[in-house]
Structure 1
Amino acid sequence: METSKIFTTLLSLVVLFAAIWFSRDDGYSVLPNKLQQVLHAMLEVEQQYHVGEVQIAVGYGACKDIFVQGSLLMGAMTPPQRTAHFSRIDSIEQLKEMYALFYTAGSAAERYVGNETLFSETLAAAEAVPGSYSTLGGNAPVMASRFASEGAKVLLAAKRTPYIMQKINSNIIVGGVETEGADDIHLILEYKAGESWGTYQAPRANRFIMHSDDSNPTLSTVEYFGEQLTAFKPHLFVVGGLQMMDNFPFAPGVREERLIAVRDQIVSLPVTTRVHFEMASFTDTDLLTGLIQHVIPYADSLGMNEQELPNLYSMVKYGNVSLVSDFNPRVAVVLDQMREVFQLLRETEEKGGKRHLTRLHLHTLAYQAIMVLKDSPWKNTLAASIKAALTANRHVCGNTEISIDNARMLMDDGFTLSEAEGAGRVLFDNHRPVSCWTEDDGKVEVCIAPVLICTQVRQTAGGGDNISAAGLILQI
């Protein structure tokens, strides 16, 4: 009896001590929550950095995005018997087969629809789905909005349509022609991890985008924008939206002329203005070849996701396109690809306006990786990788406050630095979750930051643009 009382008393004391300890507001406990520690450490760093008075120009184009749950739109259709890839969509069967291909891979994709009737009918069906909604879209406006929300002064190359002017952030100057014309429309099919469509299942949340643009592929704002760009004197010029040219039916030679116009716009800027090119889902080998010839050699910085890096790597090294890749690649794999791309593109001879690549940003579901040349103007690599990682959660969850109840991590307890034999290994530290180091005799700095992946997905589209912009804003 006495022993029972002593045990009960001791148990009560243990419970009381645990309650007091776990209620502490410093974010730690006897059995600390790993996510809580990681978030606390990253927020501490982010809060130390603030955006100065920077001016950023962003091109090209804008559109109206229509969002719909892919399961509700495609669920009304019979799943295809097979998956297949097409450079463009011209029939309902091609749409189903290609959607199934990227859906099962968990990879983002964006494709031009050559059949206008098919696009119009699919769009009408999507707008009739409960919960569908529209927002201002396009790589350039999304990145511009992120820059503006972080405190930068922004000039955007886009047509001044009534819809765009109504939706755009008031801190953004829209440097395009005034028009009453219709907006280009993009249809975005979002899906969640674990969703099923017949026998097909999505391994992660992502999106499939369709468009039938008339204006954006021709980069119709380039010339008019150039008149304002010089007077604006940006610290950074961001080039995006060029994937709209992918598989668009240009007359012979016209697409190359438009790429040369972009090149000339970059070359017109002083070398002190840094240039960032945001990659996208390209499938047209001729377009990628044109980008490697006319745009990429003129950029100081490149941004891309886990699908776009191997695509660029494959084009630079082998001259062919990589269509689908691992949705959650190992750190060692991407670091090796980044090193090779970084090295090959740094060999560009600086003449005729060409620049050496000095920054490479890879954003994946699980982590952010930023590689910079140490003696370049890019600064705050650690803070930039953290800002990008936190922005990934905030955008996808649609909330500025990050909740560990709606987050998870995919990063392991450590990662190897390369697939090469004898490569070193970095162990994960909850209190210092971002790993930075130098390599190539101290000439190159690399930072890897874990992403607290949002488990309550609101929107994946625009994620890469927000993430890239957030990383850039602290490095200018």
Structure 2
Amino acid sequence: MSWDALYSSAFDKVRGNIGKVGGVLLAYNTNIDAVKYLDSKDLERRVRNVGEDEVLRYSDELPEKITSLEHLFGGILWSVRRGKAAELFVESCSVRFYMKRWGWDELRMGGQVGIMANLLGGVYNVPVIAHVPQLSRLQAELFKDGPIYVPKVENGKLRLVHPRDFAGDEENCIHYIYEFPRGFRVFDFEAPRENRFIGSADDYNPNVYIRPEFHEHFEEIASESELAVISGLQALTGENYREPVETLRGHLEILNDKDIPVHLEFAFTTDRTVREALVDLLGKFWSVGFNEVELASIMEVVGEDEIARKLLTHDPVDPVAVTEAMLKLAEKTGVRRIHFHTYGYYLALTAYKGEFIRDALLFAALAAAAKAKLGDVHSIDDVVKAMEVPVNERAKAVEAALEERYGMEKGIADVDGYQLSFVPTKIVERPKSTVGIGDTISSSAFVGEFALRP
């Protein structure tokens, strides 16, 4: 069966079964994305005004946070040079004011929780309960119609209401997204693929602020859920991570006691101490999702520096190195599912077996292509519009390497008692936007898998 036929079959299966999925708890990060499409001449002028030599220094090695304009522009150029996403916390008030004056082209729902809530609840019609650190009027208006709920406590009793019915007017949490297309040229750099740099300019998400409703009523909220996705830990530092991680540990214990599978959507954090703390918690998660940069950063923490180097050396990413990394992590932590997504293909290593794992990855790849193609997906039937997008030709070499090493057939192989599932993705040549595609992939694959489980 061809990959196009497998794609079509997987979509039909998920569309027919996704209604079986009950509530999904989403925590902790939601914000407003102010999206700016970069102009090379404007960017070069701004860099020269700040000081080209100093900016270029930070384009080689990312700072841990943004405290100057040199850091901001160095971070943007770091992403352009590599075609890779990066996100840094903007600590400086003067830089925040500069970004605000630089402006944006559009405002969108942001944060992993916000994006996943709009996809799962607003597109797939799967009920979701979302943690929203600050429910401003603008933030509430960015949520789609559908079974999307936030907790509200009145007279000591918990109610679940749509964000627009929360009737709050809290602060706006703004993240500035600087997008660039493939082939974008600035100075002597050319972006090998489309991506973005994110400057996080709010004080709630970086500190993983958790609302009182969640602190006080978490067990009741969890009882309304069948699945959970945790995200938004990427901006934690060695100074502020202890309290949020302990809160997370308590939430995981409640979710584990209720047998609710939990996915951790990992995002790159520059702080090694935070990565070590998250590795210690991985055994309490059912599932975790990575790209190559994130997986390499975890391999460094567990002492696998050579595997980390291999993950960042080849393009496309060496699938054997990815598989070795996932095996090391599964054996060390006991996590049951590791989902890897990179430009061109996805892999999943699972402690359980079945074609439904591969089919969920195919559905996720189709959803991601639809988002890239259309900019926004309004219904699950929009997802099938990506069928006309061609399957990535470069993934043939990846598939051949997996067939040779592990005897893979139709995207499935048995590796050391685990199942390894592979799918080639569909590549949209000129995506309307890259923001939220990773969140679309991970949530669609995780929820899609549970829709298809026998």
Q: Tell me the TM-score normalised to structure 2 length.
A: 0.82
2:401 pairs with one of 416, 433, 455: 416
- Matched residue, 2:248: 262
The 5-angstrom pairing of residues 270-289 of structure 1 reads: 270-289=257-276
Q: Deviations over 1:115-156 (max 9, x none)?
A: 1111221232133xxxx1001110111112222122311100
SS in 2 for 1:415: helix
Percentage identity across paired residues of the two chains: 20
Structure 1 residue 264 displacement after superposition:
0.5
Question: Which deviates further from its counterpart, 196-205 or 91-100?
Answer: 91-100
* Partner secondary structure for residue 449 of structure 2: coil
For 2:386, give the aligned amino acid: I
Q: Quick one: structure 1 residues 319 and 185, their matched pair in 2 at CA, closer, same or farther if it must change by over 3 Å?
A: farther
Checking the alignment, whether the CA contact within 8 Å between 2:116 and 2:443 is kept in structure 1 is yes
Deviation at 1:321, TM superposition (A): 13
The residue that corresponds to 1:143 in the other structure is 116
Partners of 1:48 and 1:261 in 2: CA distance:
37
Q: Check whether the contact 1:119–1:211 (CA below 8 A) recurs between aligned residues.
A: no
Cα pair distance change 1:407/1:450, threshold 3 Å: closer
8 Å Cα contact 1:415-1:425 kept in structure 2? no
Q: Please give the per-residue CA displacement for 1:180-218, whole angstroms capped at 9, x wherever unaligned.
A: 232110001111111110101111111110012211123
Aligned-pair CA distance for 1:223: 4.2
Closer/same/farther in 2, CA of residues 315 and 223 from structure 1, 3 Å limit: farther
2:157 aligned partner: none
Alignment deviations for residues 412-466 of structure 1 (CA, whole Å, 9 cap, x no partner): 2543239xxx834658xxxxxx5112222xx311110010111121111111111
User: Structure 1 residues 321, 169: CA separation in 2 closer, same or farther (over 3 Å shift)?
Assistant: farther
Report the residue type matching 2:229 in the other structure.
V
Residues 245 and 255, structure 1, Cα contact 8 Å, conserved in 2: yes
Superimposed CA distance per residue, residues 303-328 of structure 1 (whole angstroms, 9 cap, x where no aligned partner): 11121111112212359997993563
1:225 counterpart (214, 217, 222) = 214
Q: Distance in 2 between matches of 1:436 and 1:381?
A: 9
Change (3 A) 1:320 1:176: farther
Q: 1:208 aligns with which of 174, 177, 197?
A: 197
How many residues are treated as equivalent by the alignment? Answer: 408
Matches of 2:426 and 2:389 in 1, distance apart?
11
Q: Residue in 1 aligned with 2:338?
A: 360
Deviations along 1:323-379, whole A, 9 cap, x unmatched?
993563022221111111111111xxxxxxxxxx1011111111111111117xx98
Question: Among 334, 340, 345, which residue is 2:333 paired with?
Answer: 345
Alpha-carbon distance in structure 2 between the residues aligned to 1:405 and 1:475 = 23
Alignment partners' CA distance in 2, 1:383 and 1:438: 16
Residues in 1 aligned to 2:241 and 2:270: alpha-carbon distance in whole angstroms: 15
| 1:246-271 deviation line (CA, Å, top 9, x unaligned) | 47xx5xxx430121011111112224
Mapped to 2, the partners of 1:391 and 1:239 lie a distance apart of 20
Contact residue 280 and residue 308 of structure 1 kept, 8 A: yes
CA RMSD of aligned residues (A): 2.8
Correspondence for 1:91: 68
- Asked if residue 172 in structure 1 is aligned to residue 148 in structure 2, the reply is yes
Give the greater-gyration-radius structure (CA).
Answer: 1
Amino acid corresponding to residue 163 of structure 1 in structure 2: L
Q: Aligned partners of 1:227 and 1:48: how far apart in 2?
A: 39
The alignment's TM-score, normalised by the length of structure 1, stands at 0.79
Instruction: Provide closer, same or farther for how the CA distance between residues 140 and 470 of structure 1 changes in structure 2, counting only shifts above 3 A.
Output: same
Aligned match for 1:311, one of 297, 304, 316: 297
